[in-house]
Amino acid sequence: MIHDWLKERSGRGAEVSGWRRSWPLAQAEFLTLFRSRWGVALFLLCLFPGLGRLVMLLIIFGVVNFGPVGLRARLQNRAEIPGLDPSRVDFYLEPVVSVMPGMVFFLLLTSLVVARTIARDRLANAMELYWTRGLSPLAYVACKWLGGWLVVASITVMVPLALWLTAGFLAEDWSLLATSAGGMARAAVGLVVVSAAWTGICLALSAICGSPNAAMVAWSMLLVGSSAVGVVLASALREPWLRSCLSLWEAGTVVVRAIAGVPQRGVSIPGACAMLAGCLIVTMLLARSRLRLEEALR
């Protein structure tokens, strides 16, 4: 698909800045998901874990109440569990960083949006058009990454922040926001960093693979396969910390919790950082040879 931004000059021949050429590509990449009813349905489906937490908040703060006994009382009796206490950061992180349902919806979203993007352009011979009209391969990749990350961050970053703000307004006073503001700020930073790394790895696989379907399969195998390997080896060797060193998803969640200051047991934070950074560096280096100008002109 050829976009209007491919024109380097305006009607009078004035040069168009690099940012003005680049931003529409990132914007178009972000809006791709919302141009069809199926895409909108997919995005709404990925909001379900957050909506589940919203229902919990409404019950906990007494906005709604179900049954004669009251589900609110059950939740409040379990408030000592960090994942079910709105005053703790875990409550807002859990829908995003948990394997079920967090990883499932994240994999679905990234497979259909990010993993297909560069491979789709290569299959359509669109990369030659992009790279020969004033947009460098680096700028092209940066725009693709930014557009994909904005879609991912709207789930991984914005949903937890929206839930936290909702809890603050539902609470009796502002103490909930005041006491958890520092933790949520650090959590937001962690989610931004990790979601950017995950998006970069997925995008690199899209550049490496020759077709959109192959990129989707490769990304699914990496995310799910590394998690399976981590679980098996950690159980076989009786070393729980191996999961954070071998599973790409587990490594990201450990890094997020570490930045947010959430206590963790049986994990290796240096190993998780090494796993996440190593996957990103290796896939980017492999993708570099496929993202050269001469590659697109063949």
pLDDT tens string 232-260 = 988 888 888 888 889 999 999 999 999 99
The percentage of residues in the chain with a pLDDT greater than 90, rounded to a whole number, is 32
Would 258 be classed as within a structural domain? yes
pTM of the model as a whole:
0.86
Would 94 be classed as within a structural domain? yes
Would 8 be classed as within a structural domain? no
Per the structure, the count of domains in the chain is 1
Residue of 216, 213, 212, 246 whose CA lies nearest to 228: 246
Confidence (pLDDT) at 205: 93
Confidence (pLDDT) at 248: 92
Would 265 be classed as within a structural domain? yes
Would 5 be classed as within a structural domain? no
Q: Which helix (H) or strand (E) holds 271?
A: helix 269-288
Residue of 10, 287, 5 whose CA lies nearest to 135: 5
Would 56 be classed as within a structural domain? yes
CB within 8 Å of 234: residues ≥ 6 apart? 240, 241, 242, 243, 246
Domain range for 147: 22-293
pLDDT band at 61 (very low <50, low <70, confident <90, very high): confident
Residues 7, 131 contacting (CB under 8 angstroms)? no
Which tops the pLDDT comparison, 8 or 253? Answer: 253
Which tops the pLDDT comparison, 76 or 23? Answer: 23
Return the amino acid letter for 83.
G
φ, ψ for residue 9, nearest 5 deg: -130, 150
φ, ψ for residue 15, nearest 5 deg: -70, 140
Would 134 be classed as within a structural domain? yes
Residue pointed to by tokens 């995005």: 43
Which tops the pLDDT comparison, 197 or 28? Answer: 197
Would 240 be classed as within a structural domain? yes
